[in-house]
Amino acid sequence: MVLKAQAPSDGAVLGSFEETPAAETGRIYENSRAARDSWATLSTVQRSAYLKRFRHVLIDLQEEIADIISASTGKTKTDALTTEVMGAADALKHVEKEAPGLMSNEKVKTPIHFAGKASYINRKPRGTVLIISPWNFPFQLAVSPVAEALAAGNTVILKPSEDTPMVGELLRRLAALFPKDVLQVVMGDPDLGEALTSGNPDFIHFTGSVSTGRKIQEKAAKELIPTTLELGGKDAMTVFEDANVTRAAKAAVWGSFHNSGQVCLSTERVFVQKGIYDSFLTEVKQEAAKLRQGQDTDADIGSMTTRRQYDHVKEQVQEALDQGAVLETGKVPANWDDSNLFIEPVILTNVTPSMALWSVETFGPVMPIMAFETEKEAVTLANDTEYGLGGSVFTSDIPRAERFTAGMKTGNMNINEVLLSVANFYLPYGGVKNSGIGKYHGRDGMRSFCIETSVLADKGTEDNEIIWYPNAGKYDLFLDMISNFWGQRRNWKSFIQSYMNLNKS
């Protein structure tokens, strides 16, 4: 069986790539387990050196890699270079720098009543990590979790999306930069993904749709396999009257139309305060009119990546128009050129909750704009979704932005910015509600790829401990001890006296 790669923009055949048979799952896991010990035995600094070499190769080949990504996804070459190659290089550099400190043992405090003991957290790899990645950022969303998992000392099985197999093949070849089977890249569709999920990995890091995330979580739950699920979103941008309207308008255009809206953190709903609604709409339309579609280095917006996604967006826009939405920018779906996958950016007003566009992830270049009056109403509207991935707020009143952010039930927020929080790898990244479980990046996200063993250590010189047997004769001492350590009445003298007497007896 082969996976056929076709250029989304014009359907040109890019190549055929051999699929990994699902029947090989057992062998893939065996390879992974066999490679584990020698990789885990290396220090984090030594493992980071491999990541550094990987990064240098990636930079040497940056244009070739951007070409492959652009051809495979339909995104512009500049987008492929910035959000994919640059994003991956930055993720690698971050992990190289931070992993040795974050993934090592860590001393923690030991309370005084544990006198003579020490406490620390011991960190070690989980084992084999299964990483399943999507097609919208097929390079960066694979490299970034792979780097964190490998740095922690895990071996990795990566299954990239079947919709962008040429990028999968690129990743498979780059995996040769690591010792044998430390990073295995397998090529295949959901059936292979299912077989791998059933192969009993030690950890699963999944990026993709909510429906697949649920299936993976169900399987993982049976074996109690820990997971991180990075799923979809329906992010809101909220623009208050005191915002820099020009900046907000430009941000909305980039936030909604970047990568043709095929971004999990895409701005899918724009709420604008009544007083600036008209001027915001005018500016957003002017900005959208300047955008140029294509794939060359000067183009702003590429094509959709899959026919499936193109059809989904077309259906949603048509349904909204049928129900009374007003088309401010773009074409009515009947006039879309179905011979390719380019969608001219769409701006809609008069969007209502009964339309799918209001609540279902669009994942296309569509910006619905709605008006609001009060801050309270704005928070309610922005939170009115089953998703909780990200969002943004534009205002010159920073305390208001912080108050608004505090009211948002999302995993990520941007203040007077859009999308960018995910690109700061010091910030943990992940969604809440239906947008996912767990985090990667940041301190705790990177550490999610480690087993953490909590250790309490005693020198072992004393024969016995107060809390050990026998209990006889200790009751009053414990009463005294509890009062002294945790109560309001303190009488250290009597406690120490009873303790000494006990030790003498």
Please identify every residue annotated as catalytic. 230, 264
Among 68, 80, 99, 141, the residue binding ligand NAD under the rule CB under 6 A is 141
Min dist CB 308 to ligand NAD, Å, is 8
Min dist CB 351 to ligand NAD, Å, is 20
Please write down the HEC assignment for all residues of 35-46: HHHHHHHCCHHH
Q: Which CB atom, from 281 or from 367, has the smaller least distance to ligand NAD?
A: 367
Token pair recorded at residue 475: 């009751």
DSSP state of 301: B
Min dist CB 133 to ligand NAD, Å, is 6
Stretch that binds ligand NAD, among 4-12, 49-57, 102-110, 186-194 (CB under 6 A): 186-194
Residue 13's Cβ-count burial label (10 Å; 0-12, 13-18, 19+) is exposed
- Give yes or no for residue 345 binding ligand NAD (CB under 6 A): no
Q: CB within 8 A of 380, min separation 6: which ones? A: none
Location of structure tokens 């989980």: 126
- Give yes or no for residue 159 binding ligand NAD (CB under 6 A): yes
- Give yes or no for residue 209 binding ligand NAD (CB under 6 A): yes
Min dist CB 198 to ligand NAD, Å, is 9
Q: Which CB atom, from 132 or from 341, has the smaller least distance to ligand NAD?
A: 132
Among 190, 226, 294, 407, the residue binding ligand NAD under the rule CB under 6 A is 190
Stretch that binds ligand NAD, among 126-134, 236-244, 267-275, 334-342 (CB under 6 A): 126-134
* Count of C-beta atoms within a 10 Å radius of residue 63: 12
Min dist CB 413 to ligand NAD, Å, is 15
Min dist CB 42 to ligand NAD, Å, is 29
Using CA atoms, how far apart are residues 241 and 426, in angstroms rounded to an integer? 31
Among 6, 25, 83, 136, the residue binding ligand NAD under the rule CB under 6 A is 136
**Sheet-wide strand order for 203-207:** 183-185, 155-159, 128-132, 203-207, 227-230, 436-437
In terms of C-beta distances under 8 Å and separation of at least 24 residues, what long-range contacts does 407-414 make, across chains too? 407/379, 407/383, 408/379, 408/382, 408/383, 409/383, 409/433, 410/235, 410/435, 411/435, 411/436, 411/439, 412/265, 414/390
Residue nearest ligand NAD, CB atom distance = 193
Q: Which CB atom, from 25 or from 293, has the smaller least distance to ligand NAD?
A: 25
Neighbouring C-alpha atoms within 13 Å toward the C-beta of 61: 16
**In contact, 121 and 455? CB cutoff 8 Å:** yes
DSSP state of 19: P
In the region spanning residues 357 to 376, those forming contacts with ligand NAD, defined by CB under 6 A, are 361, 363
- Give yes or no for residue 135 binding ligand NAD (CB under 6 A): yes
Contacts with ligand NAD by CB under 6 A: the residue count is 30
Using CA atoms, how far apart are residues 481 and 170, in angstroms rounded to an integer? 64
Among 24, 67, 106, 189, the residue binding ligand NAD under the rule CB under 6 A is 189
- Give yes or no for residue 233 binding ligand NAD (CB under 6 A): yes
Under the rule (CB under 6 A), what is the footprint of ligand NAD? 132-136, 141, 159, 161-162, 189-190, 193-194, 197, 207-209, 212, 215-216, 230-233, 264, 361, 363, 389, 431, 436
